[in-house]
A and B are shown apart, each in its own frame.
Chain A
């Protein structure tokens, strides 16, 4: 049963190019109002599935439901899409370009013009509104594209590599814009290669490889499923360490020990237990980064394929 609260729902979606699967039996539910990371290596099928989400491509099998509609083409004016390949009409003036895209998204001429002026103001481009797009630097060009994506206040925003080519100040600006959208209960789908960015901003992620889903779900859940390492410097009887529950592996050197926790074990609980029985001089916990999760997942995926 499709989930009515999901902004996007893929059920058994397949898409082939030249009879090779680009997306293979993908099942995804993206809840409304969240920031959803769409991760995967190059050629994983990210862009193809984003294109199906925005109604540019049709699936060969399965169903795509977007904003409660089984035909994404019908809700195009509620979607904002910033593709990975970004371009502008070089000879058009900034303001005209933004107005043009707004009008293609069904805004009236007056609305489009007012909103365009507001957005250019917000993004610090008001004084360049009458300049031609060809005079813009790459970063500024990208800001214009982001404005064109958001101008009609879409319910669903699909951003493919929105940070590429931006300086730190503009990365900050775009990140804040995305967070603002979330506050307003818009759904943002973010496809990126930069795991740190996804880690900082996303509520949930999907990891796909070779068209197939590898991992998906809320970031906290995914992290919880990962093993975690603790390193301690202590004084006392180290043999007690073996009695601590939830510890998978111990590497004890007498005054220093490395503990590997089982998935689901909280490092805070372990610290509490340890401080009751030992004198802890240093406590250090390291979470597996999304980068590592990504690498591990892709590697184990490749391994299982070779074993098959």
Chain B
């Protein structure tokens, strides 16, 4: 065993000194950081899609635009967020917004005051927008607010990131012809346009959405929703139904999601709870990447060892099994170092983010990722899974002179290794279903399936017996691999066929030398 440790130590030190090792440690966090930044930048810079409306009813478009404006203005007034003040001018804006909010929601204000203010803002904004005019001199608070709204859409977006104009932009055209509109769609200046019938109140027929893009239905669904509300409101008004009655009729039934806590009491589910239950899937993925990458490393390393012609010298000092054990241990230590670095990088990043952003994260990600049960499961199943697959790949690697030869022989192992990835989401959704239970008891899948189920852990007996099963399987795999390795490692020339392989596993025949 001392020899195996010596070999492991050498493997580890040699791997740690390579550029590849440091690259693999750095690459993962760098990739994650890059992807996050790029996707954030892309989502921020993505221009809103343009649409237009041909309104034959002469009132729906106006109602829609006023409704959208109202919702945006109300959000700004009700939100606790203020735009960041970078200049003196911004400082003035902050004061203005605070004054407006004081006036509309202060202790003296009445509901009607707010409504009146909002009504006035909408009216003024709508008129200005239609006439493409702006306010030059703004003596009143109302005018100052409207002027700010027109001049600083970026600040509005800071407060209401999903304001109507952030995603969809209305393109105003003076009496466009159908041909003109279709041309704009072809040139991709418009995603689509809406035709509103003359009398949308009496008939649901005649409303048309024209586009060439059928995969992006967001715009259509959003606009149809707004128009429906507008028409419904108009119908309620025409039928002289009291607004309270109408609201009551239209009220939807919402189900509050609750989870049973560990103490047995019911608690409202928050986003964090949902994520908590999906975190094991992330760990399964990490487990898979680690095991896949590190066993590949072992395979390459075994084949390289054959090609550097040192095997015979080593075997004159240690047994083939000691050599195999040393390699498996050395690469395991290398792999664990890499994975530990990844995990620490993620933790540090999560802890550093609030400091960098200057604000707490909306979710307590740190506690999600550093859940000790998940971390312990991950470590245990990494070791178990790695040992199992390492045994198989080390055996195969010893038979081959080149990586290309090895590819054919390891194909079955790799195919098996892909299955846990395919069932990751189904098991995550139903962690104690038949699929999850069956997969937990098939040794090549046990580590992945059990990690997958960590959000709703099965009983301790399941843990005990699946781990025992895994240990027995690892022992069997190591013995089998040892037999192959003992003979394979000295072989040169063509890798043996499967039938030859089976023969020498059974009888100890050495295929050739």
Contacts and interface: CB of A to CB of B under 8 A. Distances in A.
A17 interface: yes
Given A56-B312, A76-B317, A81-B313, A91 B17 contact: yes
A148 B314 CA distance: 11
Q: Is the interface of B mostly helix, strand, loop or mixed?
A: loop
Contacts of A100: 6, 10
Interface string A126-155: 000000000000000000010011000000
Nearest to B504: A18
B505 to A, nearest CB: 15
B513 A48 contact: yes
Given A51-B312, A104-B3, A91 B512 contact: no
A22 interface: yes
Contacts of A103: 6
Interface in A62-100: 73, 76-77, 79-83, 85-92, 100
Contacts of A158: 316
Interface string B293-320: 0000000000000001110111111110
A149 B10 CA distance: 19
A54 B309 CA distance: 17
A55 interface: yes
Nearest to A76: B317
Contacts of A36: none
B364 interface: no
Given A91-B17, A103-B6, A55 B316 contact: yes
A214 to B, nearest CB: 21
B509 interface: yes
A46 interface: no
Contacts of A73: 319
Contacts of B18: 91
Interface of chain A, main secondary structure: mixed
A85 B312 contact: yes
Interface in A89-117: 89-92, 100-101, 103-105
A77 B317 contact: yes
A61 to B, nearest CB: 13
A22 B509 CA distance: 13
B510 interface: yes
B14 interface: yes
A104 B309 contact: no
Contact of B513 (A22, A79, A88): A22
Interface size class of A (residues with CB under 8 A): 35 or more
Contacts of A48: 513
Given A17-B510, A90-B308, A104-B6, A148 B313 contact: yes
Interface string A5-46: 000000000001111001000000000000000000000000
Most buried by A among B7, B18, B313: B313
B321 to A, nearest CB: 11
Which of A82, A90, A103, A104 is packed against the most chain B CB atoms within 10 Å?
A: A104
B28 interface: no
B308 A88 contact: yes
Given A18-B509, A103-B6, A87 B309 contact: yes
Contact of B316 (A16, A22, A79, A89): A79
Given A56-B490, A100-B10, A104-B3, A145 B313 contact: yes
26 contacts: A18-B509, A18-B510, A18-B511, A18-B512, A22-B513, A51-B312, A51-B490, A55-B316, A57-B490, A73-B319, A76-B317, A76-B318, A80-B316, A81-B312, A85-B309, A85-B312, A86-B313, A87-B309, A87-B313, A88-B308, A89-B10, A89-B308, A89-B310, A90-B308, A91-B17, A91-B18
Given A17-B511, A18-B511, A101-B313, 12 more contacts: A54-B315, A73-B319, A81-B312, A83-B312, A87-B313, A88-B310, A92-B10, A92-B14, A104-B7, A104-B317, A148-B313, A149-B313
**Which 9 A-B pairs give the minimum distances between C-beta atoms?**
A87-B309, A81-B316, A83-B312, A104-B317, A85-B309, A87-B308, A54-B316, A56-B315, A87-B310
